[in-house]
Structure 1
C-alpha cells in the first residue's frame, strides 16, 4: 500500500501541490482514511438495506440528503441563501416531509444514508483535495479491507437466495 501511495503522489503534476498549507499532506491522507470509512459505511448501509427489502427507506435517504447538505452548508460552511433559494429549500423540505409522513415512522436507514453521505461531502469539500486524488487514496485505504473480505469470509450470496 505504501508503494501505491508513493506512485499516486509521484506523477508529473504532483497532487501534493494541491494541498493547502493549513494541513500537512500526511494529515490529509489520514483524513481521507476517515472519509473512506464514511463512504464505505454509506455503501454498506445501502447494500444491506436493498438486500433486506428496505428499498423505500434507502431511497428516502437520498431524498433527505440534499436537505442535510443544505443544513451542513449553513452550519459548517457559513452558506447564506437568498429569498428564492429559501423558497426552493422549503419546497424540497415540504416534499420530503410529506414522504416521511406517508412512510409512517422514522426512517433510520434513510437518515443514516443521508447523514453519512452529507458528512462525506462536507469533509471532502473542507479537505480541498481534487476528486481523482481523493478517490484514489480512499480506494487504497479500503483495498486491504476488501481483500480480506474477499479472501477470508465465506462466499454467501444473500441476493440470490
Structure 2
C-alpha cells in the first residue's frame, strides 16, 4: 500500500542492461568514443551499448520508463543518432524532475577488442556529457570466458547502475 504523504527520497538508484549484435560494415562506438575494430554494433542508432545501458539505469532511477520509450527504434528521428545525444537528452529529462547524477558504475562484456585501454577516454567523454566529475563515472570490462553470444563474438552487452540525487 502506498502512502502518498511519504516524501520521495532525495536519492535513488537504477539499473540498466543493453545488448547489440556485432556485424561487419559498422563503426564501433562505446562510451561515446569510436574504437578501431573489424566489427561494429548493429542498431537503429549508433548502437553504443554502454551509453544505452547507462541511459536505462538513469531513466529507471528517476521512474521515467526506458530508453526505448523516449528514443524508439521505430522513429526516423532516432535513426543513426549519436548515443551521446541520447545521453545528453536523458540528463535533461532527469533535470525536469530535479535530479542530477551522483555516480555511475558500468561493465562492458566483450571478448574483443580489449576495452581497458579505452576506459579513461570513455570516462572523460561521459563525464563531460553528464556534467559531473570524471571520478563519478566508473567503467569496467570483462569477457564471458568464450561462452554464450558474447564469447562467440556475436555481440556485446553492458550493465550499468547509477545513483541520482535531488538538487
Name whichever structure is richer in helix by fraction: 1
Normalization by structure 2: what TM-score? Answer: 0.24
Radius of gyration: which is bigger?
A: 1
Normalization by structure 1: what TM-score? Answer: 0.24
RCO (CA 8 Å, sep 6+): is it higher in 1 or 2?
1
